[in-house]
Amino acid sequence: FGTTETGKDIFACLAYGARFSFIFATVVALANFIFGVIWGSISGYFGGKVDLFMERFSEILGSVPTIIVITLLKYHMGSTSQVIVLFIAFFATGWIGMAGRTRMQFYRFKNQEYVLAARTLGASDARIMFKHIFPNGLGTIVTSVALVIPSMIYSETSLSYLGIINLEAGKITSVGTLIAAGQQSIVANAAYVAIFPCVFLILLMLSFNLFGNGLRDAFNPSLR
């Protein structure tokens, strides 16, 4: 892949940057998955006033732009690591989409015959929610998780590229910092410094979309 103007190997930098981006995005996606599934399950299963309150709260929180959250966090947590600021910002609103998909799946399946039969036989609400309803909606939910990971990487890349988040201050290399550094090299006729991270990001998005479709088919009970 060549080297940067300071002599750093681009392939090694991309490997380190991709590792951080993958780990960070996976942790954020896992946190959003756990909280979003629990929130959406309770909202969709019980319905009524519980669902109304939880859904309005999600809508109010989701109406706050992520960039505003990041700006406020940076203002009040100036000395804190930028990684922690990013995690809190992505988690603060990132679980809302997962909760909405889970809620939709619970509304879809909670009145099915097998659920009514389990309720008649005395199954508890928790057992009905996570033993009978949740597995049937797992395909759509898992597909969403697979798509959240590249979305987080893309968001981190955009914020690093625009300079809103400065991960280099903490001596952290990510795909976003590599693209931002490569922008300066384009002027010096070294466009390959930015091209390789961009190509990696494109292939990553495409790969996770195909991977998500495969997971959806694998977890679809109707295809078993």
Tell me the mean pLDDT per 10 residues along the chain, length 224.
77 85 86 89 86 89 83 76 82 85 85 85 84 80 78 81 71 77 68 81 84 74 58
Q: How far apart are CA 157 and CA 152, in angstroms?
A: 8
Integer angstrom CA distances of residue 170 from 49, 77, 78, 184, 210: 46, 14, 13, 20, 34
Residues ≥6 apart with Cβ < 8 Å to 24: 83, 86, 87, 152, 156, 174
| Cut 0.85: pTM above it | no
Q: How far apart are CA 198 and CA 65, in angstroms?
A: 26
Q: What are residue 9's DSSP bridge partners?
A: 3
Neighbours of 162 (CB within 10 A): 11
Q: What is the pLDDT of residues 56-84, one digit of tens each?
A: 898 888 888 888 888 888 777 767 777 88
